Amino acid sequence: MIQKFIFTLLILFFQVSLQASNPITPIVEGQEGETPIIFIVDGSGSMWGKVQNEFKIVIARTVMKDLVGDIPSERPLGLVVYGHRKKGDCADVEYMVKPMTGSQAKITQTLDKINPTGKTPLAVSAKMVIDDLMATKTKATIILITDGIETCEGNLCELVAEAQRNGIEFKMHIVGFDLEPEAKANLECAATAGQGQYFDATNSEELSEALNNAVEGNIDNDDYNLTVRAVRDGKLVDTNVQVFQEGSNHSIGGGRTYDSESSNPTKILLEPGKYRIRATLINARGVFIEIPDVVISEEGIVEKEVDFSTGKISIGITNNGDLWDSTVKVTNTVTGENTAGGRSYTSPNSNPAVYEIPPGTYDVAVRGLNVLGMEHTHEIKNVVVKPSEVSEVSHNYQTGLFSIKVTHNGELLDAITNIIHIESGTSVGGSRTYTSSNSNPRKFILLPGKYRLKVRPVKIKGDEKTLDFTIEGGDTVTKEITY
């Protein structure tokens, strides 16, 4: 009995000593020191989905445990989880660990209890945290992790913007885990409204990197070293800005400019290094501008501007120097999307064909009409269109004229003609000659090359006759076949 009593005293002494060395202290109104970081973690049913053959909730637990274990105990940490108790319940949000110092162990234990079950009430979750900050007059950093969009009819961006207007002091970062591109718009909006950043993550490594960047960019460390301003025709314009490390296609951060001076330029904090910036115009599919080789150093702020003012591309098409009718297609080299196109016709009012398009790099394909041969389509690669400038390109077809007359006993003969490109064995065109001087001789405009003509009479008996000939640019070749 005495041994058991002594053992119990030793256990109690050990627990008291442990708590004294790593005290758990709740945040109270007016408390000084480092501001809290509050994590909002996705416990919705979709977290049982897999990434790299591992459940997303398992990845999130592992990454979160490593993350909070590296945060000094002096930094108060809190944990909110949503969607982890009931299916279909938009009120299923729980403040599982209130912000307090020394809470790492409690958060780690709590993470293991999350059982993804229900919906994704993002706005309700954020409101719970924001209301708590307002009640305690505490400022904080909120880091929200989600693998999906709002499923409870809330609007996270509007909620966050309203809270900021009401003077509640917080910075909100959002990490989208394995999200489809079309699901990010409201999350990017909310992060910008919350003076924070949106981070994209598609695997455990990227999730860890995103969360570490979010923690580093807490409200106590409100610095930035990169600004990106977006304009079009002299006015601020709404864009999504992404930052990529040199040689990587994974976005490590960014923001949204909107069209307001309060958010444009968007401000971003980066580690020293070399980066690539991509600004994508909102509500204009496939329109973006990239700035390569952006160097961030230990000191100073790098300021960049992207100008989406439209430029023009002028495409002139001729044949042996004369204006020529052609189809035109202008394609964005990055997205592969057809940006502009039409016909050039033969009038100086339409040829060159001029198109007003966003700045970028494009491929131009022209196809000469009424021209026979194997190289109808000519491509002009990597045409750079700059804001408020005209990029001029042109192509001159060099064709020859082939004329074939078919007669029988000195009279015009109706016959079927077929022209074969000898090298490829491909038929490039043909027609009937009939017996009118308007169509016999029959004339063909041909691209340079070696051809074989086949002629077969229609109304008289006669063998098919062949004739080989060569066309060079500017040539006129006249032949006659008689029966």
Residues 339 and 332: beta-carbon distance below 8 Å: yes
Query: What distance, in Å, lies between the first and last C-alpha atoms of the chain?
Result: 130
Q: Can you read off the two tokens belonging to residue 78?
A: 């809190």
Helix (H) and strand (E) counts for the chain?
7, 33
Between CA 281 and CA 235 the distance in angstroms is 13
Selection from 230, 231, 150 nearest residue 185 by Cα: 150
pLDDT of residue 200: 86
Q: What structural domains does the chain harbor? A: 25-222 (3.40.50.410), 224-307 (2.60.40.1120), 311-397 (2.60.40.10), 400-482 (2.60.40.10)
Lowest mean pLDDT among 87-96, 160-169, 240-249, 426-435: 240-249
For residue 358, what are its two tokens?
């966003």
Structure tokens at 362: 């494009």
252 — pLDDT class (breaks 50, 70, 90): confident
Query: How many residues in the chain?
Result: 483
β-sheet bridge partners, residue 25:
101
Which positions ≥6 away from 304 have C-beta within 8 Å?
226, 227, 228, 229, 277, 291, 294
How does residue 9 score in pLDDT terms, banded at 50, 70 and 90? very low
Give the start-end residues of each E strand in 386-432. 390-397, 400-408, 411-412, 415-421, 426-429
The 8-class DSSP code of residue 46 comes to G
Q: Which of 211, 272, 248, 223 is nearest to 39 (CA)?
A: 211
Helix (H, G, I), strand (E, B) or coil at 335: coil
pLDDT tens-digit readout, 124-148: 999 999 999 999 999 999 999 999 9
Three-class DSSP category at 395: strand
| Angstrom distance (rounded) from CA 156 to CA 158 | 6
> The tokens 């398992």 sit on which residue?
58
Whether pLDDT at 8 is above 70: no
Q: β-pairing, 198-201 with 37-42? A: unpaired
Tell me if 119 sits within 8 A of 154, measured CB to CB.
no
Residue 245 has pLDDT above 90, yes or no: no
As a whole number, the mean pLDDT across the chain is 89
Q: Is 174 exposed, middle or buried (0-12, 13-18, 19+ CB in 10 A)?
A: buried
What is the mean predicted confidence (pLDDT) over 38-61?
Answer: 95
Q: What is the Cα 240 distance to its own chain's centre? A: 9
| Residue in 289, 295, 291 with CA at minimum distance from that of residue 231 | 289
Q: Which residues contact 316 (CB under 8 A, 6 or more apart)?
A: 344, 351, 352, 353, 392, 393, 394, 395
Q: Using one digit for the tens of pLDDT, what is the confidence trace for 156-189?
A: 999 999 999 999 999 999 999 998 877 888 898 8
pLDDT at 251 over 90: no
DSSP strands (E only) in 32-169: 37-42, 50-51, 54-55, 77-82, 93-101, 140-146
pLDDT at 262 over 80: no
Residue with tokens 């042996």: 320
Q: Is 293 exposed, middle or buried (0-12, 13-18, 19+ CB in 10 A)?
A: exposed
